[in-house]
Amino acid sequence: MPQEYRQILKYADEPGYTPDIECYLRHGGYDILRKALAIPPRNLADGRIVTGPDHLRQEVMTSGLRGRGGAGFSCGLKWSFVDRKSGKPIYLICNADESEPGTFKDKQIIYKDPHQLIEGMAIACYANDVHLAYIYIRGEFAEGAKILNRALKEARARDFLGENILGSDYDLEIHVHRGAGAYICGEETGLIESLEGKRAYPRIKPPYFPAVLGNNTGTRIVSISGHVRKPGYYEVEVGKATLGELINDPAFGGGLREGRKLKAIIPGGSSAKVFKAGEKFKIKRRGPDGKDAEQEIELLNLPYDFDSLIAAGSMSGSGGIIVLDDSTDIVEALANISEFYAHESCGQCTPCREGSLWMSKALQRLTHGEGREADADYLMKIADNIPGGRTVCAFGEACSWPVQSFVAKFKDEFVARGAADEENRTRRNAGPTAVGKLPASS
Amino acid sequence: MSDAPLDHGIPNPLREQPDFAIPAPLEAEINELITHYPQKRSASLMLLHAMQEHFGHVSRQAVEWIAAKLELQPINVYELVTFYPMFHLKPVGKHHLKVCRTLSCALGGSHKLHEHFCRKLGLDPHAHGAQTTKDGQFTVEFVECLASCGTAPVMMCNDTFHEGVSEKKADEILKQCQQQPSP
Ligand code: SF4
Ligand code: FES
């Protein structure tokens, strides 16, 4: 049975572990930075020199480390895109905007183990010739910003930041930059605009197509919320636990509440496409004979990793699993999600700005007794017309996926709700109270 | 037509903060913040935070002061205040209660919690947007996911997080606020 495997959160919740530098140093803190800065340059046979930073970048590339954001993008590959020849300064920005609903992992690191974040950033900065870096932290984490500022001050005082770090000739400064309550700042180009003192309007960026992926490595912090007995954050080895284990095992979510049955799972933050209880998927997997074969897998047996969830038509996204039991009003749930996206669209692109609002309005009327039987199809039509290259950023997808998946998989509930509302209206209009009133306009 | 000034949310400069002045420690903090960035404009958000922390809101004078300081047009700063939900142009209650309304918290009872606060404070539980009590002590508002979904329902009172907020806990929070001496 899989257990938690804590690497990043190894000490965070230990009794007596505090966010100050003394405590971090007692637990081996800044040793890796010290080692990284001490890597000597190597001379290759052909006369080229592999510097310490070159070596670190190669190491990260071969390690298979992938980003822990939505896409699980290869970290080494991402670093290889940096233009090091232009002579322009290179900045590193740590995205601590944690804003995807259902996700609460970064907060644990920032509040409980800030020096780990700073050390990690310092190593990444050294590997990439960065001398100025920012932590973009969501505005609501005012306390977290204070904790980070305190930690940065401590690190400077101990010579882990600033000029000539540990006598290595390497200079680095890190500053905290606070957001101010806009979800779209989590989108990387929106974040950069925001850091530059502008509205967080995402920019158009070229699509990247990662060529060779497949191996998962390291751990991942999964946030489980909603209708489970033990909601919380759990660090697991990537791919070692299934969705069902994460939800039901006593080591993790601990199962549903007494007498309840599973209705749906949102597997990777609120924009991930919903799974309906009992769904089965045909997925290519490597069998014991080493050959890839198509296998039928039940929802709860899906390994919780980047690739399996994509193969099942959704994503592990931010690692936020929201569990819905059979007490959930599925129409209300989608109305809630859509209200979020309508509120958070930055407003640059018409399909996203208007579409997210129309969907939210249609769902509001469905949850307020004013629905129509045709609303399910209407919602689907809007959702199908927002994404697919019609918007600047992936928010277009993010606001459509929940609607497309909820309405497709629970269509009967949406249709029934709208039909019931229509029937009620007809009855009201035909009733004695309607006498003398004008007929309802069509 | 009445003579009342049109209210587009842009405060009337003559009525607002006539005694606007930046105290020396705040100006020192601001000068330090500006040094964190290769370009001054990047400091806008941090300066707005500093202003709001000091004055409780961002007045038109504050917007104009920041613009002058960063060598920008006032609109460049004003459009940030209207874009980012955390900044407000008008004073809010001394105790700002922000209840998360997003899915995990909604499943965990945040609507009940919001209603509870509204009823206790004599506000309309069904009204949209932020509401402030007449005495200016409390503002109650629904906000989006506060990244603490595992301990729903979640809320903030000013900058402090409160998690797993039952009605009993909510009453304690209100009591604590009411007992705080006025500055
Ligand atoms: S898709 Fe939406 S959020 Fe993204 S840039 Fe366009 S309007 Fe803004
Ligand atoms: S949904 Fe309330 S904190 Fe995330």
Q: Where are the domains of chain B?
A: 24-83, 95-179
Identify the band that residue A216 occupies on the pLDDT scale cut at 50, 70 and 90: low
**Dihedral sign of CA atoms B6, B8, B14, B16 in order:** positive
* Residue A212 clears pLDDT 50, i.e. is over it: no
> How much is the pLDDT for A85?
87
> Which tokens sit at A353?
């700005």
Cβ–Cβ < 8 Å for A303, A295 = no
> How much is the pLDDT for B26?
97
Contacts of A216 (CB under 8 A, 6+ apart): A64, A66, A238, A239, A305, A306, A307
* Residue A218 clears pLDDT 90, i.e. is over it: no
Of B78, B126, B144, which to mutate for an interface test with A (greatest number of A Cβ within 10 Å)? Answer: B144
- DSSP symbol at A392: S
The better pLDDT of the pair A187, A116 is held by: A116
Q: Say which of A100, A181, A270 has its CB closest to residue B85.
A: A181
Whose CA is closest to atom 6 on ligand 1?
A349
Q: A 141-200 residues with CB below 8 A of B?
A: 141-143, 175, 177-183, 194-200
Residues A336-379: pLDDT tens digits?
A: 999 999 999 999 999 999 999 999 999 999 999 999 999 999 99
Question: Per DSSP, what are the bridge partners of residue A74?
Answer: A66
Contacts of B79 (CB under 8 A, 6+ apart): A199
* Residue A214 clears pLDDT 60, i.e. is over it: no
Cβ–Cβ < 8 Å for A283, A297 = yes
**Å from A40 to nearest chain B CA?**
31
The better pLDDT of the pair A69, A103 is held by: A103
- Cα–Cα nearest to B102, from B139, B173, B150, B168: B150
Residues A386-414: pLDDT tens digits?
A: 998 899 999 999 999 999 999 999 999 99
- Cα–Cα nearest to A123, from A33, A196, A57, A7: A33
* Choice among A164-168, A328-332, B112-116, B124-128 with the minimum mean pLDDT: B124-128
Determine the average pLDDT of the residues in A206-221.
Answer: 61
Domains of chain A: 21-195 (3.40.50.11540), 219-285+293-325 (3.10.20.600), 330-428 (1.20.1440.230)
Task: State which CATH number among 1.10.10, 3.40.50, 3.30.1490, 1.10.730 fits the domain covering B24-83.
Answer: 1.10.10
> Which tokens sit at A371?
């629905």
The overall longest dimension of chain A from CA atoms, in Å, is 98
C-alpha span between A115 and A29 (Å, rounded):
8
Number of CB atoms found within 10 A of residue B49's CB:
22
Of B107, B110, B154, B162, which to mutate for an interface test with A (greatest number of A Cβ within 10 Å)? Answer: B107
What's the CA angle centered on A184, arms A333 and A382, to 5 degrees? 50
* Residue A251 clears pLDDT 50, i.e. is over it: yes
The DSSP-derived string for A193-208 is HHHTTS---PPP-PPP
Identify the band that residue A432 occupies on the pLDDT scale cut at 50, 70 and 90: low
Cβ–Cβ < 8 Å for B138, B128 = no
> How much is the pLDDT for A430?
83
* Residue B1 clears pLDDT 50, i.e. is over it: no
Identify the band that residue A208 occupies on the pLDDT scale cut at 50, 70 and 90: low
B81's enclosing H/E stretch is helix B74-83
Number of CB atoms found within 10 A of residue A291's CB:
8
**Å from A227 to nearest chain B CA?**
8
Cβ–Cβ < 8 Å for B182, B135 = no
The reply to whether residue A225 touches residue B149, judged by beta carbons under 8 angstroms, is yes
Number of CB atoms found within 10 A of residue A45's CB:
5
> How much is the pLDDT for A334?
98
Superfamily for B95-179? Glutaredoxin (3.40.30.10)
What's the CA angle centered on A150, arms A147 and A156, to 5 degrees? 140
* Residue A135 clears pLDDT 90, i.e. is over it: yes
Return the C-alpha torsion angle A164, A167, A168, A173, nearest 10: -30
Determine the average pLDDT of the residues in B33-50.
Answer: 97
* Residue A2 clears pLDDT 90, i.e. is over it: no
Contacts of A14 (CB under 8 A, 6+ apart): none
> How much is the pLDDT for B131?
95
Q: Hunting for tokens 């690739």 — which residue is that? A: A307
> How much is the pLDDT for A170?
97
C-alpha span between A99 and A117 (Å, rounded):
18
Number of CB atoms found within 10 A of residue B3's CB:
4
Residues B79-113: pLDDT tens digits?
A: 999 999 999 998 999 999 999 999 999 999 999 99
Phi, psi of A204 (to 5 degrees): -75, 135
The reply to whether residue B161 touches residue A224, judged by beta carbons under 8 angstroms, is no
* Residue B4 clears pLDDT 70, i.e. is over it: no
What's the CA angle centered on B97, arms B94 and B99, to 5 degrees? 170
What is the b/e burial string over A176-188, where b = at least 16 CB atoms within 10 angstroms of the residue's CB?
Answer: bbbbbbbbbbbbb
Contacts of A85 (CB under 8 A, 6+ apart): none
For a ligand 2 pocket test, name from B99, B146, B151 the mutation site with the most ligand atoms within 8 angstroms of its C-beta: B146
Cβ–Cβ < 8 Å for A162, A156 = yes
Mean pLDDT (chain A) is 92
Q: Is A392 in the pocket of ligand 1 (CB under 6 A)?
A: yes
> Which tokens sit at A292?
């890839």
* Residue A98 clears pLDDT 50, i.e. is over it: yes
C-alpha span between A387 and A400 (Å, rounded):
7
Cβ–Cβ < 8 Å for A36, A52 = yes
- Cα–Cα nearest to A236, from A245, A227, A228, A226: A245
Query: Model ipTM?
Result: 0.90
Determine the average pLDDT of the residues in B51-55.
Answer: 95
C-alpha span between B103 and A326 (Å, rounded):
15
Report helix, strand or coil for B139.
strand
Report helix, strand or coil for A232.
strand
pTM: 0.91
Determine the average pLDDT of the residues in A154-176.
Answer: 97
A295's enclosing H/E stretch is strand A292-298
C-alpha span between A423 and A372 (Å, rounded):
9
